[in-house]
Amino acid sequence: MLETDFLVLGSGMAGLIFALEVSEFGKVLLVTKKEDTESNTNYAQGGIAAVFDPEDSFDDHGEDTMRAGAGLSNGEAVTIMVSEGPRLVKELRDFGVQFTKVSQESATAFDLGMEGGHSKRRIVHAKDFTGREIERALVATTRSKPTVRVMENCLAFELITEGNRCLGAWVLRRGRLEGILSKITFIATGGCGRVYCHTTNPKIATGDGVAMAYRANAEIRNMEFMQFHPTSLFGREIDGRKLLISEAVRGEGGVLRTQRGETFMEDYDPRGCLAPRDIVARAIDNELKKSGEEFVWLDLSSIGARRIASRFPQIHNTCLSLGIDITKQPIPVVPAAHYVCGGISVDLHGRTTVENLYAAGEAACTGVHGANRLASNSLLEALVFSERAGMHARERIGKKMTHPTIVPPILKEEELGRETIERLCARLRKVMWDYVGIVRSDERLKTASREIGALRRRIEELYGAHRIAVSSVELRNLVTVAHLITNCALWRKESRGLHYNLDHPERDDLHYKKDSVADR
């Protein structure tokens, strides 16, 4: 058994910020599923929403966040996030993040972008590869800390618990099991977009942290609020994921059009193409169902070729490599699963309902996003609440390590076949896409619940009978997350934010202005 003071599961922004925050207070072991830069953070194009414009205010940012959250955002958490955000964005700059500035001569003035749902320009960015640039700087800083050890290509597959206390985790490393005992365990494993057929998430986004925490009896809430990004590139995938076409493209003047060339967003919301993501995604979905077509156009002609190439170099170059010159052609786009607003219940210090277990980032539910996340608030939330979790956790590190009797899982001889895993995965994702997607109904959700229940029983049976492997663990986690999303969606008999039910099309504040909590 390995021992450490702080065990960090995940190497996106949340995990790295937490590791840096606690690195002066004890030994840190950071376990990451792939290489240290592979995470949803790495694919965040837009930026970080924060108040820097003199015409902007914390109140304005808070009101935009609460409005997008459709009545479910935690006001105290929102206030903390918007007020602490600018200081921490400056700290990222001090870590070496090269944010885009107003001019080359300016040392401090950020070039602020505009995105849907925001009333002011407040998107701090590094062109259109903000996440990658943040990840680069944080990884370099983390690796310079002598107290931080990084274990790459390791899969944490189960938490070690005693009663309601977390004592660490079991990790699969190079086909071997390793137990890690820790005084504090921090989950920063990111999202679960791979539970759907079409997603902007990388292959590692299989909901591992949420599933592990659920099996450890942590409270899970608001999983029905899965955000479908309205604009992903149609017809092409990169390593199994849809190319995200950033919200900022519409913020700079990009216009959505049908294949007949007609605009349509003004029919759905007075903010048009700058409406929040849930509204835009449903509008596109509805237009496609009406027309029978497979995509709509995102027209960038009003932005201008020079501005497109300078502001969106990654999108421009990637699309060009796929045969689309976005300085001359519109982009074919469709919605794709992008971000889950629910997750492991945490308080304002990142504490879960299990003792010594903390969480932040997309795996956690602070209450900031409510029923729908405002664009570019994801990196901000991860930044603020990972720091708060680290500050709280480091105060508890003086306690002694407990050494309970721990029985390791038994490694069976035979692994579950790849074809079986791929077949079950494909079936699960199709069920989720068809029945628990952008538009839902009671009957669709009941059908999904039955099918997921049968898949879950079969997968648990196969998992228990075969050797533990990365692919079988991920499959088990995906079906667990599918159960949680569907479970929460069945409970909410209304339409709110990202959850739209044809049988209950109105918002019902009397009965459902509250968080969903997943059943056992």
CATH number, domain containing residue 497: 1.20.58.100
Domain count, the chain: 3
Query: What pLDDT score does 407 carry?
Result: 78
Residue 41 binned pLDDT confidence (cut-offs 50, 70, 90): low
217: left (phi over 0), alpha (psi -120 to 50) or beta: left
Q: Is residue 166 part of a domain?
A: no
Q: Which residues of 154-174 are buried (b: 16+ CB within 10 A; e: fewer)?
A: bbbbbbbbeeeebbbbbbbee
Asked whether residue 225 is assigned to any structural domain, the reply reads no
Residue scoring higher pLDDT (421 or 103) = 421
Contact of 349 with 388, CB cutoff 8 Å:
yes
Q: Which helix (H) or strand (E) holds 322?
A: none
**CA 332 and chain centroid, separation:** 24
pTM: 0.92
CA distance 484 to 221: 9
Q: Are residues 38 and 77 in the same domain?
A: yes
Residues 17 and 117 in one domain: yes
CA neighbours closer than 13 Å in the CB half-sphere of residue 177: 17
Please, which residues have CB within 8 angstroms of residue 119's CB and are 6 or more apart in sequence?
Answer: 60, 63, 64
Cα separation of the two ends of the chain:
30
pLDDT digits (tens, 9 = 90+) for 380-393: 999 999 999 999 99
Can you read off the two tokens belonging to residue 320?
């060009």
Whether 424 and 459 have beta carbons less than 8 Å apart is answered as yes
Per-residue pLDDT for 412 more than 90? no
Q: Confidence class of residue 277 from pLDDT cuts 50, 70 and 90?
A: confident
**For residue 40, is it within any domain?**
yes
Give the contacts of 416 (CB within 8 A, at least 6 positions apart).
462, 463, 466, 467, 469, 471, 472
pLDDT of the residue at 132: 86
Token pair 């667990």 is found at 480
Question: Is residue 197 assigned to a domain?
Answer: no
Beta bridge partners of 113: 123
> What is the 3-state composition of the chain as percent helix, strand, coil, each rounded to the nearest 5?
40, 20, 40
In a domain? residue 468: yes
Q: Are residues 259 and 237 in the same domain?
A: yes
Q: Are residues 309 and 359 in the same domain?
A: no
Rounded CA-CA distance 348/234 in Å is: 39
Given 306, 335, 364, the domain boundary residue is 335
Catalytic positions, written as ranges? 277
41, 111: one domain: yes
- Of the pLDDT bands very low, low, confident and very high (cuts 50, 70, 90), residue 342 is very high
What CATH number has the domain bearing residue 266?
3.90.700.10
What is the extent of the structural domain holding 108? 2-154+341-396
Is residue 448 pLDDT above 90, yes or no?
A: yes
Phi-psi region of 390 (alpha: psi -120 to 50; beta: other; left: phi over 0): alpha
327: its two tokens: 């300085």
Closest Cα partner for 93 from 115, 111, 80?
A: 111
Query: Are 304 and 373 in a shared domain?
Result: no
Q: Are residues 12 and 143 in the same domain?
A: yes
> Looking at the domain assignment, is residue 187 inside a domain?
no
- Choosing from 317, 335, 353, the residue where a domain stops is 335
Mean pLDDT of 216-238: 94
Quickly state the pLDDT bin for 44 (edges 50, 70, 90): low
Q: pLDDT at position 255, please?
A: 97
Please indicate, yes or no, whether residues 112 and 248 belong to a single structural domain of this protein: no
Residues 29 and 141 in one domain: yes
The residue-averaged pLDDT of 2-6 equals 95
CATH of residue 368: 3.50.50.60
The number of beta carbons lying within 10 Å of the beta carbon of residue 321 is 10
| 324 in any annotated domain | yes
If asked whether residues 442 and 300 sit together in one domain, one would say: no
The Cα–Cα gap between 376 and 197 comes to 24
Residues 327 and 348 in one domain: no
Domain assignment present for 309: yes
23 closest CA partner among 352, 347, 386, 356 = 386
**pLDDT of amino acid 46:** 64
pLDDT at 106: 53
265 to each of 250, 277, 373, how far by Cα in Å? 12, 12, 19
Shared domain check, 125 and 18: yes
**Sign, CA torsion 451/336/82/211:** positive
* Residue 425 pLDDT level (bands cut at 50, 70, 90): very high
Q: pLDDT for 53-67, tens place per residue?
A: 999 999 999 999 999
